[in-house]
Amino acid sequence: MGLLNLFGTKKSYLKSGLLYGMTDIHSHILPGVDDGIKTYEKSVKTLHWLKEKGIRRMYLTPHVMSDLQKNTRIYLTEQFNAFIKRLEEDKVEDIPVLKLGSEYMLEAAFEKHREEGLITYADRHVLVETSYMLPPAGFTRILEKLMEDGYSPILAHPERYNYMDEHDYKYLKSQGVLFQLNYLSLTGTYGQYAKEKGAQLLKNGYYDYAGSDFHHLKHHKNSFTAKTLTRKQQLAIRELFENNNRLWSKNDEVNISYGSAT
């Protein structure tokens, strides 16, 4: 096989080696708090599987939105601490190191959460999302207020927003909004539209971070073995994963963690 064919061969996330030692900044594995994994046992099984595949550190980022009224900063912190305590009591090993984050829906209820204080990465970065079909009222002003308060918003999976176009992406980036790729979008997990849009945004250098947005092992398992990544995509995603690692390593005084990265 010639060099051109070798470098043109597409690989999966598992075969590419991209997952080894990486930090995942977006997942729904904290059990029983949102539309992600529902039980402790399934969470542990999933975490074992992810560690086996090379993932070393994970933020658990449950949804915070009006449909999930329980999910406040206090409640989610309690649920995370209870999860950590049970893992310790059960002496669970061979899972990624865990920290708590959250994924905030930008909607009317978000203002209350902002006033109460947000769950962040490294004390200032906050993961946010919107409806896939329409932006929230005052979208750009919400982001401006976040930044005025000293937060650095990370927009989750911009490739999935049907209402956004190139003008929107350029404007948000010019305002200092960071972008997080759902890296499984590139395997077609979220449909052809998100796959193509994600590939274009990645090519154009819009993304700052990448996360799995992991909800259920059964749903995502095959995505890790899909041979869809070009050589250029692999190199670009590796840079995003390195950014993830740097985000994890920043000072984060209020967040406890559990697990071993070795």
Q: What is the pLDDT along the chain (262 residues), one digit of tens a residue?
A: 344 444 568 999 999 999 999 999 999 999 999 999 999 999 999 999 999 999 999 999 999 999 999 999 999 999 999 999 999 999 999 999 999 999 999 999 999 999 999 999 988 999 999 999 999 999 999 999 999 999 999 999 999 999 999 999 999 999 999 999 999 999 999 999 999 999 999 999 999 999 999 999 998 999 999 999 999 999 999 999 999 999 999 865 445 666 655 5
Helix, strand, or coil here: 98? strand
Question: In 3D, which of 143, 154, 125 has the Cα closest to residue 251?
Answer: 125
Q: CA–CA separation, 102 vs 258, rounded Å?
A: 17
Rounded to the nearest 5 degrees, what angle is found at the Cα of 205, between the Cα atoms of 19 and 232?
55
- Residue 4's pLDDT is 42
pLDDT in the model for residue 1: 38
pLDDT of residue 5: 45
185 phi/psi in degrees, rounded to 5: -60, -35
pTM: 0.93
Measure the CA–CA gap between 61 and 38, rounded to whole angstroms: 14
Q: Which residues contact 193 (CB under 8 A, 6 or more apart)?
A: 162
Long-range contacts at 64-69 (CB < 8 A, ≥ 24 apart): 64/102, 64/103, 64/104, 64/105, 64/113, 64/119, 65/104, 65/105, 65/107, 65/109, 66/105, 66/107, 66/108, 66/109, 68/33, 68/34
Predicted pLDDT at 9: 85
Determine contact, residues 186/169, Cβ cutoff 8 Å.
no
Distance CA 223, CA 179 (A): 21
- Beta strand pairing call for 152-156 and 178-182: parallel
Q: Across-strand partners of 181?
A: 210
Residue-wise DSSP of 200-258? HHHHTT--SEEE--B--HHHHGGGGG---B-HHHHHHHHHHHHHHHHHHHS--TT---B
Q: Three-state DSSP class for 83?
A: helix
- Which residue type sits at 58? M
